[in-house]
């Protein structure tokens, strides 16, 4: 469970590090599982978007095995290309 939380947070950090031109709105799509920790994190969304009006947040709730597969599929090609 803790590794899944770390995985979701890592994906969030990667999204935040995206380079976006000044003045452009940034949309974060955060994939998560439906558990207490993630529900608490979703509860912080309004405070975050109030403080960062140029960033919108969309939450996608998936079953744990589906989330793990999709994150692995998304990150693996980037990791392989960065080591080349």
The chain-wide mean pLDDT, for the chain, equals: 79
Which two three-digit tokens encode residue 82? 């960065």
Q: What is the pLDDT of residue 7?
A: 59
Q: What is the pLDDT of residue 51?
A: 95
- pLDDT band for 71, please (50, 70, 90 cuts): confident
Q: What is the pLDDT of residue 23?
A: 59
Q: What is the pLDDT of residue 13?
A: 53
HSE of 44 in the Cβ direction (CA atoms, 13 Å)?
7
pLDDT tens across 6-46, in order? 656 555 655 555 545 555 689 999 988 988 898 899 999 99
**If 0-12 CB within 10 Å is exposed, 13-18 middle and 19+ buried, where does residue 55 land?**
middle
Is 1 strand, coil or helix?
A: coil
Kindly list the domain boundaries of the chain, sorted by start residue: 2-77
């Amino acid at each position: 469970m803790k590794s899944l939380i770390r995985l979701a947070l890592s994906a969030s950090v990667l999204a935040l590090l995206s380079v976006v031109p000044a003045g452009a709105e940034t949309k974060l799509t955060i994939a998560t599982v439906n558990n207490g920790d993630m529900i608490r994190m979703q509860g912080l969304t309004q405070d975050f978007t109030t403080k960062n009006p140029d960033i919108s947040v969309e939450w996608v709730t998936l079953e744990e095995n589906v989330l793990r597969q999709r994150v692995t599929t998304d990150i693996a090609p980037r990791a392989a290309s960065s080591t080349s």
